[in-house]
Structure 1
Amino acid sequence: MTMQWRSGNRIRLLENGEEFFPRVYGAIQRAQQSLLLETFIWFEDEVGQQLHRELLAAAQRGVRIEIMVDGYGSHDLSSDFLASLTAAGVRFIWYDPRPLLFGMRTNVFRRLHRKTVVVDGEIAFVGGINFSAEHNSSYGPQAKQDYAVEVKGPVVGDIARYVQQQFGSEQATRRWWGQRSNPLARNPTPGDAQALFVFRDNDQHRDDIEQHYLDMLRTARHEVIIANAYFFPGYRLLREMRNTARRGVKVKLIVQGEPDMPIVKVGAELLYNWLVDAGVEVYEYIRRPLHGKVAVKDQQWATVGSSNLDPLSLSLNLEANLMIHDRQFNQQLRTNLERLMQEDCLRVDESQLPPRSWWQLSKSVVVFHFLRHFPAIAGWLPAHTPKLALVEPPVQPEIETQDRVGNDSQEAKS
């Protein structure tokens, strides 16, 4: 499936759950025909329960709903939680569910990591925010800093068609979209932004998102800001960041300073010497865990999505980013990231770099060779075709059986 740049879109930046969840819930409440949702994590906390209620209400008023959830990230969803959805007519699909082995999850690799929502083919949401309370600031010190976008315009059609294709719902697609004229045709240009939906799979689009990052760095003239939660990219991207900084472009990188997983910072720190030596400015976000996957270039280019710059996202997981050409959006995201760097980050200077030693040099050599060859190494990992498991609705008792039980009970009483 080939995507194209689409003009005439309106794109809204959404920061954290406080902005994201109300917009998604509002779109679901206004849904009339169809709703598509895929996510890595869906928890049965207050956020997940609210989503559950909104989906039930939409299904009960006749909205066709399809959901695909990752079998690793959302493995704790209860049977009752799902049964109430499927009983209301929701089509629920597990992406690659696996039984536990000695109480442990074994389906670690090749995860569904996308977070997309499409409502009525009119509005879409793309980003890195999962459906869990940890994306709200009220969650506490471990609340995640993250981003998503709300999109209206022609690119929504591309997103919808792609997601429907992944759900295996082509016949349903023709039926849903054929019920009335495409609303995008009535309002083809709700905004001025150009947008391109880019995805990563394990078939013909293995490095599409990484390639857009590489092209962005090669064409940058003034400044690049990358904020990425899990930063441990391949050799090509690291080399291009260094080359971009060396030719005079300001390259700024925001990574986790208070990570949710300690190994994240350990991996990033191994790269600090190599990056800082070339002129890359490295900032550690220390207010709380960083979960964002965003970037801006110069005055126009930006991206928001689900893809980290690490081996899992770049070589294994199913990801989706929106590439955006729009000065207003670029400035809004840039201002946000500049505020983060100024108020909530510590810049890594030479005094904080790991000491230069033979041991440090040896570790760096191993790391760089690993990064350089990881895509080939990943090919040795389990490359099975992931199973899509449709959750069947609960079996309803037959009316005749209920009547018979009622009559027998009445006879027993008499």
Structure 2
Amino acid sequence: MPLRLPPLRGGHGLRLLEGSRELFPALIAAIEQAKREVRLETYIFDFTGASSEVAYALERAARRGVAVQVVVDGFGTPGVPPDWAHRFEQAGVAWQVYAPVGSLGVLWPGSWRRLHRKLCVVDGTMAFCGGINILDDLHDPNHGTLEAPRFDFAVQVTGPLVAEVHAATQQLWQRLRARHSLRGQALSGALFPPRPTAVPPWPQDPAPAAEQRARAALLLRDNLRYRARIERAYRRAIGRAQSEIIIANAYFVPGRKLREALASAARRGVQVKLLLQGRYEYFMQYYAARPIYGALLQAGVAIHEYSPSFLHAKVAVIDARWATVGSSNLDPLSLLLAREANVVVEDAPFALQLRQRLLQAIGDPAAAMDPAQYGTRPLRQRVLEGLALGVMRLALAVQGKRYL
């Protein structure tokens, strides 16, 4: 079956952003200059620390007449502080919750299909995509204050791809409104009503500037038309790799085809480096990843575990030219169940910049995981790994999915 992927188009300006410390100022600057519309989607919208500055910017934009529409995931963002709910309502910020979690929580089978993508589009002229939630780098909702910033990336985009981001966010917003209306609730799951006035169309963007030459594409993953685009893009790029593959991924439990692609690349002489989660965050994701390391290590894949803070990145660089930045983990929750969004880029300057940051995070090559030590892990750890993998397989079976 051919890999049906959207073509990469030229004329894009790209800016790599690391962590909320780089994303939030860029996002706020764009919101402050908005004249017509701001659309934002995120899994987590937290109001602690620097993330509150994004909330203030959205409030200010709505108060000056900009149409502001925010969609959050019902599991990632179970509630909004009452003071912020009041502020947003008074300002006119329109807010909807994707798949609010019912009384059964994650025990309900349908609750595993989440909105995990992080997208923002401003006035149809600038977009943001990546793995960074509206969440301060040094704050974790489950673990409190962090000693070092979370490691994650986003990309700021101008050019043709922006229209695709706008269309995707608009389509989801309209579907949520229609779904709630069919249930007899004008905006059930929405905290605040949208502005009644329509947003006027904006003029066509001017021709791209000379520096806007990067080729890029938006890859969406959903449970309808685009079920496998992101994984297929990874497999195609890995299969074409000639010298180097660097992947940084927070929750790494790839399926058989993706594992075989990585092992095959390593065996044919490609340097394959994986930067993976080294800190315990969630039981299932942390332990379920480790049973698959053995075959990759045997094939010659270098595995590094990131431990200064939580690794939350979902990025890759191949042959210092192809790169991807987005929200999709390489695990079944992302690749089979969640709504995700990645930007794929073919541009040497952008890829080299991301490569440099990843190599800095990897650090000393001698710190790579030792295959011999991996083979002698304690029995207790192996038991936990088997249990976590079993839980993941059971969760997928309940969804009618097989992946591992």
- TM-score, with length taken from structure 2: 0.83
User: Displacement of 1:287 after TM fit?
Assistant: 1.2
What amino acid is aligned across from residue 161 of structure 1 in structure 2? A
In structure 2, C-alpha distance between the alignment counterparts of 1:234 and 1:56, rounded to whole Å: 42
Structure 2 match to 1:163? 169
Structure 2 match to 1:153? 159
User: Displacement of 1:367 after TM fit?
Assistant: 9.5
Structure 2 match to 1:339? 360
Matched, 1:71 2:71: no
Structure 2 match to 1:297? 318
What amino acid is aligned across from residue 181 of structure 1 in structure 2? P
- Matches for 1:15-414 after TM superposition, within 5 Å: 15-101=18-104, 108-134=111-137, 139-141=145-147, 143-168=149-174, 176=199, 178=201, 180-182=202-204, 184-187=205-208, 191-342=212-363, 346-355=367-376, 377=397, 379-380=399-400
**Cα deviation per residue 1:227-281 (whole Å; 9 max; x = unaligned)?**
0010111111111111111111111111111232254332222122111101111
User: Displacement of 1:190 after TM fit?
Assistant: 5.2
SS for the counterpart of 1:239 is helix
Moved more, 59-68 or 74-83: 74-83
**Cα deviation per residue 1:182-229 (whole Å; 9 max; x = unaligned)?**
2x2454765111110001101111111001011011110111000001
Bigger Cα Rg? 1
RMSD between superposed Cα atoms in Å = 3.5
In structure 2, C-alpha distance between the alignment counterparts of 1:304 and 1:337, rounded to whole Å: 12
SS for the counterpart of 2:375 is coil
User: Displacement of 1:135 after TM fit?
Assistant: 5.0
What amino acid is aligned across from residue 168 of structure 1 in structure 2? Q
Q: CA contact under 8 A between 2:249 and 2:330: conserved in structure 1?
A: yes
SS for the counterpart of 1:21 is helix
What amino acid is aligned across from residue 271 of structure 2 in structure 1? K
Structure 1 spans left out of the alignment, 5+ residues: 382-414
In structure 1, C-alpha distance between the alignment counterparts of 2:368 and 2:246, rounded to whole Å: 14
SS for the counterpart of 1:74 is coil
In structure 2, C-alpha distance between the alignment counterparts of 1:219 and 1:370, rounded to whole Å: 34
User: Displacement of 1:284 after TM fit?
Assistant: 0.9
In structure 1, C-alpha distance between the alignment counterparts of 2:299 and 2:286, rounded to whole Å: 20
Q: CA contact under 8 A between 2:138 and 2:147: conserved in structure 1?
A: no
User: Displacement of 1:84 after TM fit?
Assistant: 2.4
User: Displacement of 1:62 after TM fit?
Assistant: 1.0
**Cα deviation per residue 1:314-342 (whole Å; 9 max; x = unaligned)?**
11111000000000001000111111111
In structure 1, C-alpha distance between the alignment counterparts of 2:373 and 2:216, rounded to whole Å: 39
In structure 2, C-alpha distance between the alignment counterparts of 1:247 and 1:368, rounded to whole Å: 29
Matched, 1:11 2:14: yes
Q: CA contact under 8 A between 1:226 and 1:296: conserved in structure 2?
A: yes
Q: CA contact under 8 A between 1:245 and 1:279: conserved in structure 2?
A: yes
In structure 2, C-alpha distance between the alignment counterparts of 1:250 and 1:234, rounded to whole Å: 20
Q: CA contact under 8 A between 2:101 and 2:111: conserved in structure 1?
A: no
Change (3 A) 1:30 1:204: same
Change (3 A) 1:163 1:259: same
Change (3 A) 1:84 1:240: same
SS for the counterpart of 2:363 is helix
In structure 2, C-alpha distance between the alignment counterparts of 1:97 and 1:362, rounded to whole Å: 34
Q: CA contact under 8 A between 1:316 and 1:378: conserved in structure 2?
A: no
User: Displacement of 1:366 after TM fit?
Assistant: 10
Alignment length, in residue pairs? 376
- Could you tell me the percent identity over the aligned residues? 35
In structure 1, C-alpha distance between the alignment counterparts of 2:8 and 2:376, rounded to whole Å: 46
**Cα deviation per residue 1:281-320 (whole Å; 9 max; x = unaligned)?**
1111121111100000002100000000111001111100
What amino acid is aligned across from residue 114 of structure 2 in structure 1? R
